[in-house]
Structures are given as structure tokens and as C-alpha cells.
Structure 1
Amino acid sequence: MKYLDKLIELGCFSRQEVVDLIGTEKAAHSILNDYVKNGYIDRIRRDLYTAISLETKQPVANRFLIATHIAEDAYISHHSAFEYYGYANQVFHEVYVSTTSRFTDFSFDGITFTRVSPKIDSGVITTNTEIRVTDLERTVIDSIYSFQKIGGLEELLRCLLLVPALQADKLITYLDEYGQVNLYQKSGFLLKEFAEQLGLTKLFFDYCRSKISKSKSYLYSEKDALSKHFVLHKDWMIFAPENIKSILSKGVDLNV
């Protein structure tokens, strides 16, 4: 148990980190096998491990720390970032991990880790606990972009209800990085419903409108059976439910 305290301190660690700690590949292999056999550590996936608490017998690393260690550039994003900040309506048994490194989705300790291919690079912070996560504004823009695939429209709206404020300049930075007309439309349309709560002024929405063409678009797939009930919101040139907040009051997600 010579190295156990250090591994507990790391929480989550790769095979290479153990090699660096011990000094040789052979010794690291022996230590890992011995510690796994005795229940001091657990294998998360190939070459990735977590220490096990001697008191609780549970993994020391939480889902967010594990996600950060899946790849060198891995970070928590989308609905999982809302969960990290405490602004999620529901806690999923799935963690969304953005990384350019491909990995096969896997499960550990009842949680599924799902890869998302990042569309932009900026807006990732590292916390004092060494967890990498998108900042709040990047989380919002990513989630608006992908809400059909991650969580659904109702869950996104309920997350937005919990967000206390957003910085318009950061939102604009990420929107510009995406550079998609439809995303300016969706973001402006959805965030306008929460403008006062989020501290977003007319300047932000005017900027979004300045990026919109005369072409009409849909909040989500026009092939969706419920899209026939959409109305055109001319200020955003977008077809969407007439009253977005009615989705929350009815408890119905039109994105199913």
C-alpha cells in the first residue's frame, strides 16, 4: 500500500501516471494488478482507474473527474455542465464528454460516458479541483445547438429557468465561433423568453437579429409531426411553438 495515499489523492488516474509515479512499466503493472485484486482501486476502462475509499468502499473519483480524464482534451459539456453548475432540472445517468479523441461510449458505476464531438474550442475552464467544463455561456449555446439530441427542449428550458445570469459578450463570442445563422435565430428566440432573468439587454438581441437572413427556419425538424402546429415568429424568422413557456406549464416536451 506504499502508493495508495498518492493514488487516493489523484482520485482518477491513467496507467501512464502510475508508471510515472512508480518508475517502471513492470512495477506499475504489478502494483495495478495487486491493488485491483485487493479492492484498493477499480478499473474504469482500459488504462484508466479510480482509487476506492477505504471508509465508504466507493470510488473516490466522481463522474465529472472521470470524464475529464478520459482524454487529454476531454471536458464536461451540454446537460452535464448544467448538472455540474447545479442548474439542471434532472440528473441524468449519462455524462456528455466533449473531446476530439474518439472513444467508445462506456459505463462505470451506473453512469454512461458519452462522447460529443466539439464544434468550437473556446469557453472551457479548469476548476480548482482539476475538472474541465464549459463555462455557463458556452454550455447554453452548445445546448441550444444540440437540444434535440441531448435532453430535449423541455429540459433545456427548465435548465434556463435555473440560470441566474449570462454574459452577453461571451454568448456572442461562442455564437460567432459557431457562425450559423440558424443558431443565432434559435438562441435569440429562446433566450428572449428569459431576457430579464438572465440580464440580457436589447443590444444582445439586436446583434443576433443582425446575423439573421430573410430565410425562414424551424426551431427543430420540420419533419416532426408536431411542427404543423408551429407559427412563424417574424422577428426571428423562425417557425416554433406559439408560446414556448407553455411547454413548461404543460410539462410536455414537443421535441418527442
Structure 2
Amino acid sequence: MRLFRKLFAEKILRYYEGTEGGIRLIKSLPLVKKHIKEDAFGEKSKGRMAVGIISQLIMLLWEFIRKLLYVWLFMFIPYMIMAHFFPLIKLHQDTTIIYLFVMLSTICGSFSNTTIFAMGDRDYLMIRVMLVSPYMNFLGKFIYKIVTEFVFYFIILMIFQVPVLNSLMLCILTVCSRPIGEMFAIIAFDHFRGIYENRSVLNGTIMAICVLLAYGLPVLNRSVSATWIYAIHPFVIVIMLVLGAGAMYFLWWYKYYRVIIREAMHNKREF
């Protein structure tokens, strides 16, 4: 339990903030506040707990909607446009969605949108004010990210008519690629400072290449190769599980998160 509290200190704080915000909102409603007892939202009361749970469910729903919109805007709509002009793409919706997802989320998202260098005001609050260790802050954020992405993307892919097994395999592939991207970012920071100092250029290049390949190849070939289904072949998934586990082991035992966070704070001029 102590480890859980350290890892997810930011989420626990968000729970309390959501609870207090929800209670203030309820008490501000003209027709409701007159019927609320003073002790209705006391410490450890069921009312307070209910408000906290509902507030977290709303936040999770918002995160889900954002990911749903991401897949809809950058994968499903491009598929519909390409399917309008190219019948072979229209006939293979699941393969096309898998291809776009691998390029734009599994590859691009893992290597250009890393968590370790995403230093925001919330991280500053947790590390400098709440005195949460950078190690626990990063691992908590990262574990929460991969768990929610796995669940949300699994549901979203099925919404867009990707078969259940393919959706499951694709989510496993994506989750395994996330720690690999974080590991490469840390290695670049430790051993290739030129890459780290120009990471915005590198990230932009990765995104540009992935976008061009994601949308350009299907248009040039007028179809998506059926071999892309092998990206979620069980053999590939097993290899990615091994690589992802190795990268996660590296992240768990890495000792210099404080140095990285100090550098990130300095870059944001918050140090």
C-alpha cells in the first residue's frame, strides 16, 4: 500500500481535488444546497466517497473521449477518405486501421511522445512541493499511461470494427513499445547529448516520417499490404513482450531520474 501511495501520489491528489471540486459544485447549485445536510460530505462519509468516485469516472471518460477523437480524426477519417478512392483499402478496413495505428501510435507515439521529458506544472508541484521522488513520479505516470491506453485503445479499436483478437494483440504491441521508447530517450540523455539537446528536431522528424508513411504508402500503392497483419502475429507479440519487459526492467532500476528532472525543470525555466 505504501508503494502504491508513492507511485500514484498525483492520482490520489487528483482524487481529493476532484472530490472537493465536486462538493463545491453541488453546494453551489441553488435547488440542491438547501436540501443538503451539513454533515452530508463529512470525512469518510459515503457522500464524499461517491462524489470522489464520480469525479474520477468523469475524468476517465474525458481521457477516453480524447483518445477516441484521436483515432477517429487521424485514423478512421483518413481511412474513409482513402476508401472512397481506392476499393482495395475499403475491402480491408481492419488491416488499414491496424497499419495506421502501428505507424501513428505504436511507433510515433512511443518514440516522439515520451513521458520522461514531459515536465509539466503538475510534475513540478509533486516533486518540489509534495516532495515525491522523481523516480516514483515518473513510474506512476508511466504505469497509469500504459494501463489506461491498453484499456481505452482496446475498446476504441473494437468500436472501429477491428476484431477482438486483433485489437488485443495490437494493444499489447503498443503497450510493449512504450517502455522501449522511454528507454531510448534515457539512453540518448545519458550517452548522446547532441540528440537530447535537439530532441524537438528528432521528435518532429519521427512524426513527419510516420505521418508520411502512414498516409503516403496506402495512396501510392492504392492498398495496404496484407502482410501488415503480421505486426500482430503471436510470434511478434512474444518478442515485443520480451523487449518490453527488458525495457521496463531498465526503467525500474535506473538511478538518475533526479538528474533528468532537474534538466527538464531547467529547460522550462522552473528550476
Structure showing greater relative contact order (alpha-carbon pairs closer than 8 Å, 6 or more residues apart): 2
Structure (1/2) with the larger helix percentage: 2
More strand by share: 1
- TM-score of the pair, normalised by structure 2: 0.24
